Amino acid sequence: MFNLEDWLEEIVGKIRGHFCKRVVFLGLQGSYKRGEATAASDVDVVVILDELRIEDLKAYREIVRSMPDYEKACGFISGRAELQNWSKSDLFQFYFETESLYGDLTELIAPPEKDDIRRTVKLSAEALYHAACHSFVFDENPAETLSSLYKMTFFILQAEYYLKNNVYISTKKELLTSLTGADYEILQTCINMNLVENGIDEMYERLINWCSVRICT
């Protein structure tokens, strides 16, 4: 049985043992951080070094491959300067979703401002709209893509809720209780994809129209 605490302790020890004082920050994101992980979930680890070179990526790759259940490893790695100059509109979930394993993220980046989060919503809705249309037209089996497409709605709704209420809700089930109407239906579909009885065309139509509202408003 996979033990997250032991796995994280081992990989953090290996990263700090190899890179030593060059490690600026280590963190955990994703479904394991939110307590929503399944047996198929990846472990999303954040690694920030003082700077990032190709030799560092090679070394980190070897660390990952030395881990038990290494195929579960995923995540983000960056140099400090790159993270600090990252587009602020792309850091909303990163800022709120990252649990520290080593270091303090608030010493590296500031919390996103409201204009940044509004841009997050619009850019994410545009990306999802394009992905849904592309999948519907070009995928040989678009049904297989639907789950990952609907998953993206959670992050948009998360950002919208924060804009309105100044509260970050980290889990889908908790956020669902605060939604109504089309937003509730979209997130409920995201959570219960395996139980959905609607036709594929209808699910794509609902998702594309939902994104359109955010793009055109």
CATH superfamily, region 4-107 = Beta Polymerase, domain 2 (3.30.460.10)
Closest of 44, 148, 48 to residue 97, by C-alpha: 44
Q: Who's near 8: CB < 8 A, 6+ residues apart?
A: 28, 43, 45, 101
Chain-centre distance for alpha carbon 27: 13
CA 55 – CA 32 distance, rounded (Å): 29
What pLDDT score was predicted for residue 193?
Answer: 82
Q: Look at strands 23-29 and 99-102 and give their pairing.
A: antiparallel
Q: Is residue 44 a contact partner of residue 93, using CB atoms and an 8 Å limit?
A: no
195 pLDDT more than 60: no
Residue 199 confidence class, pLDDT cut points 50, 70, 90: confident
Q: What is the mean pLDDT of residues 50-54?
A: 98
Q: What is the mean pLDDT of residues 47-58?
A: 98
Could you give the dihedral angle defined by the CA atoms of residues 100, 85, 131 and 180, in that order, rounded to the nearest 10 degrees? 60
What pLDDT score was predicted for residue 137?
Answer: 96
What pLDDT score was predicted for residue 141?
Answer: 86
CA 204 – CA 130 distance, rounded (Å): 12
CB-CB neighbours of 66 under 10 Å: 11
Q: What is the mean pLDDT of residues 185-191?
A: 94
Q: Is residue 187 a contact partner of residue 156, using CB atoms and an 8 Å limit?
A: no
Overall pTM > 0.75:
yes
Q: Which residue has the tokens 């408003």?
A: 217
pLDDT in tens, 13-34: 999 999 999 999 999 999 999 9
Could you give the dihedral angle defined by the CA atoms of residues 94, 97, 102 and 105, in that order, rounded to the nearest 10 degrees? 50
What pLDDT score was predicted for residue 142?
Answer: 86
pLDDT in tens, 98-138: 999 999 999 999 999 999 999 999 999 999 999 999 999 99
Q: What is the mean pLDDT of residues 141-146?
A: 86
pLDDT in tens, 61-95: 999 999 999 999 999 999 999 999 999 999 999 99
Residue 196 confidence class, pLDDT cut points 50, 70, 90: low
Long-range contacts: 68-72, Cβ < 8 Å, 24+? Answer: 68/7, 68/10, 69/2, 69/7, 72/2, 72/7, 72/41, 72/42, 72/43
CA 46 – CA 214 distance, rounded (Å): 30
